[in-house]
Amino acid sequence: MEVYFPRAGQDPAPVLCGLIERAQSSCDVAIYSLTHPDIVKALVQAHKRGVKVRVITDREQAQGNVQKHAVNTLLLAGVPVKVNTHPGLMHLKMTVIDGKVATTGSYNYTKAASEKNDEMFVVVKDPGFVKSCQAEFDRMWADTRDFHSLKAEK
């Protein structure tokens, strides 16, 4: 397990981007706030390399201008994105890479979280933990009542 604290000078963005860049088969992201341009770029590049990239984010966050742009960038590149339709927040901060590595913590994928906020980002390789994270992502992805797919704005 690896733990990163941005305000202690341990920016998680390069770590997460590195994990995404090394993904070989899949990259599943459930993230409340996604605006960090380096992370968006890494996800698009992974998709272009043939990695199966799927993103779930929060519907309210996805309506903000910066996140709307980030989500549309993913959609235009062909990355499928879903948002919650249930009344609560999609508040997870989780990525699962190749079913072998999972990340979690309080860290949203934003520049503010990388540069200003007190946050924690954890990389976990424990097979049981990763399997649980993958199962929850897959459950949400398959749930057509509480989550729906977004379409790109051209």
pLDDT digits over 79-125, tens only?
Answer: 999 999 999 999 999 999 999 999 999 999 999 999 999 999 999 99
Predicted confidence at residue 41, as pLDDT, reads: 99
pLDDT category, 8, cuts 50, 70, 90? very high
The answer to whether residue 152 is domain-embedded is no
Answer yes or no: are the C-beta atoms of 114 and 12 closer than 8 Å: yes
Number of domains in the chain: 1
Q: Is 126 a catalytic residue?
A: no
The answer to whether residue 151 is domain-embedded is no
| Catalytic-role residue among 38, 41, 68, 98 | 98
The answer to whether residue 62 is domain-embedded is yes
Domain of 114 in residue numbering reads as 2-146
Predicted confidence at residue 145, as pLDDT, reads: 97
| Catalytic-role residue among 48, 69, 86, 91 | 91
The answer to whether residue 42 is domain-embedded is yes
Please determine, for residue 137, whether its predicted confidence score (pLDDT) is greater than 80: yes
- Taking the C-alpha atoms of residue 44 and residue 17, their distance in angstroms, rounded to an integer, is 11
Predicted TM-score (pTM) of this structure: 0.97
Please determine, for residue 154, whether its predicted confidence score (pLDDT) is greater than 90: no
Please determine, for residue 4, whether its predicted confidence score (pLDDT) is greater than 80: yes
Residue with tokens 């993103």: 55
Count helices and strands (H / E) in the chain. Answer: 6, 8
Across 59-75, average pLDDT: 96
Q: Is 93 a catalytic residue?
A: yes
**What values do phi and psi take at 76, rounded to 5?**
-65, -30
Domain with 61 in it: what CATH number? Answer: 3.30.870.10
Across 127-153, average pLDDT: 98
